[in-house]
Structure 1
Amino acid sequence: MRRPNHYSHAFTVSKSNVQSIFMVAVALIVGTFLIIAMLTTADNTHRFSSSVLHDWTKEAQSDWFIHLLGVENRYYLDAMQDTSTPSLTTTVIELATNMNLNDPRTFLGREIPGFSGFDNTLVIAGQGTDFTNMAMESPPPSEEHQYEQPETDGGEREGTVDDDPPEIADEEPIIHLLHSHSRESFLPEIEGDDPNNQEINIVQVGNYLADQFREYGLPVEVSDHDIQQKLNERGWDYSQSYEMSREILEEDIEKHDELEFFFDLHRDSVEREHSTATINEEVYARTFFVIGEDHPDYEQNLEMATEIHHRLEERWPGLSRGVMTSGGAGVDGVYNQDLSPNSMTIEFGGVDNTFEEVYRSADAVAEVIQEYIYEELER
Structure 2
Amino acid sequence: MVLLMFFIISLVVVLNINISSLKMSNSIGILNGEKLLVQLFIFENHTYFPESNPPVFTLPKITNLAFQIATTVKPTDARTFLGNEIPGLRLYDTEIVVAGEGTNLTNLPNESAPPDKVLQNERKASEEKLKESQSTDGDQPKNPENKTVFIYHTHSWESFLPVLNNAVKPDDAISSDERVNVIGLGNRLARDLMRKGIGVEHDKTNMTQELLEKGWQSTKAYTESREIVEAAAANNNQLKYFIDIHRDSLRKEITTKTINGKSYARLYFVIGRENKNYLENLELAKALNRELEKKYPGISRGVFLKTYKDGNGVYNQDISNHAMLLEIGGVDNSLSELHNTIDVFAEILADYYWKSNESKEVNGNG
The TM-score range, normalised by the shorter chain, is 0.7 to 0.9
Is 1:77 aligned to residue 57 of structure 2?
Answer: no
> Bigger CA drift: 290-299 or 111-120?
111-120
Aligned to 2:120: 147
> Bigger CA drift: 89-98 or 207-216?
89-98
Aligned partners of 1:335 and 1:91: how far apart in 2?
Answer: 30
Aligned partners of 2:203 and 2:14: how far apart in 1?
Answer: 48
Of 85, 91, 104, which residue of structure 2 is paired with 1:117?
Answer: 91
Aligned to 2:348: 368
Alignment of 1:234-249 (within 5 A): 234-249=214-229
Of 318, 327, 339, which residue of structure 2 is paired with 1:338?
Answer: 318
Aligned partners of 1:340 and 1:183: how far apart in 2?
Answer: 25
* Offset at residue 280 of structure 1 (A): 0.5
Q: Which amino acid aligns with 1:195?
A: A
Aligned to 1:45: none
Aligned to 2:75: 101
Change in 2 beyond 3 A, CA 1:33/1:296: farther
Is 1:56 aligned to residue 37 of structure 2?
Answer: no
Q: Which amino acid aligns with 2:67?
A: I
Aligned to 1:31: 12
Aligned partners of 1:319 and 1:158: how far apart in 2?
Answer: 24
Partner SS, residue 106 of structure 2 = coil
* Offset at residue 76 of structure 1 (A): 3.4
* Offset at residue 97 of structure 1 (A): 2.9
Aligned to 1:250: 230
Is this contact kept in 2: 1:60–1:100, CA < 8 A?
no
In the superposition, the TM-score normalised over structure 1's length comes to 0.79
* Offset at residue 195 of structure 1 (A): 1.4
In the superposition, the TM-score normalised over structure 2's length comes to 0.82
Q: Deviations over 1:321-371 (max 9, x none)?
A: 111111132411110011000110111011111111010011100001011
Is this contact kept in 2: 1:287–1:348, CA < 8 A?
yes
Is this contact kept in 1: 2:122–2:174, CA < 8 A?
no
Q: Which amino acid aligns with 1:77?
A: P
Aligned partners of 2:143 and 2:63: how far apart in 1?
Answer: 65
Aligned partners of 1:75 and 1:250: how far apart in 2?
Answer: 46
Is this contact kept in 2: 1:291–1:344, CA < 8 A?
yes
Q: Which amino acid aligns with 1:208?
A: R
Partner SS, residue 128 of structure 1 = coil
Aligned to 1:188: 162
Structure 2: runs of 5 or more not aligned? 1-5, 44-48, 361-366
Partner SS, residue 353 of structure 1 = coil
* Offset at residue 172 of structure 1 (A): 3.3
Alignment of 1:169-184 (within 5 A): 171-184=145-158
Is this contact kept in 2: 1:123–1:324, CA < 8 A?
yes
Q: Deviations over 1:181-224 (max 9, x none)?
A: 11111111112231122222111111111111111111111111
Is this contact kept in 1: 2:270–2:306, CA < 8 A?
yes
Aligned partners of 1:376 and 1:113: how far apart in 2?
Answer: 45
* Offset at residue 257 of structure 1 (A): 2.7
Q: Deviations over 1:298-341 (max 9, x none)?
A: 11001110110111111111111111111132411110011000
Is this contact kept in 2: 1:261–1:342, CA < 8 A?
yes
Aligned to 1:348: 328
Partner SS, residue 338 of structure 1 = coil
Partner SS, residue 220 of structure 1 = strand
Aligned partners of 1:154 and 1:165: how far apart in 2?
Answer: 22
Aligned partners of 1:160 and 1:245: how far apart in 2?
Answer: 30
Is this contact kept in 2: 1:165–1:211, CA < 8 A?
no
Rg comparison, structure with higher value: 1
* Offset at residue 163 of structure 1 (A): 11
Q: Which amino acid aligns with 1:187?
A: L
* Offset at residue 109 of structure 1 (A): 1.9
Q: Which amino acid aligns with 1:197?
A: S
Aligned to 1:129: 103
Q: Which amino acid aligns with 2:72?
A: N
Is this contact kept in 1: 2:252–2:331, CA < 8 A?
yes
Is this contact kept in 1: 2:158–2:175, CA < 8 A?
yes
* Offset at residue 160 of structure 1 (A): 4.9
Change in 2 beyond 3 A, CA 1:148/1:133: closer
Q: Which amino acid aligns with 2:54?
A: L
Is this contact kept in 2: 1:135–1:347, CA < 8 A?
no
> Bigger CA drift: 150-159 or 340-349?
150-159
Partner SS, residue 105 of structure 2 = coil
Aligned partners of 1:108 and 1:36: how far apart in 2?
Answer: 19
Q: Which amino acid aligns with 2:117?
A: E
Structure 1: runs of 5 or more not aligned? 1-24, 43-51
> Bigger CA drift: 55-64 or 353-362?
55-64
Aligned partners of 1:244 and 1:345: how far apart in 2?
Answer: 16
* Identical columns (%): 32
Aligned partners of 1:254 and 1:119: how far apart in 2?
Answer: 34
Is this contact kept in 1: 2:156–2:182, CA < 8 A?
yes
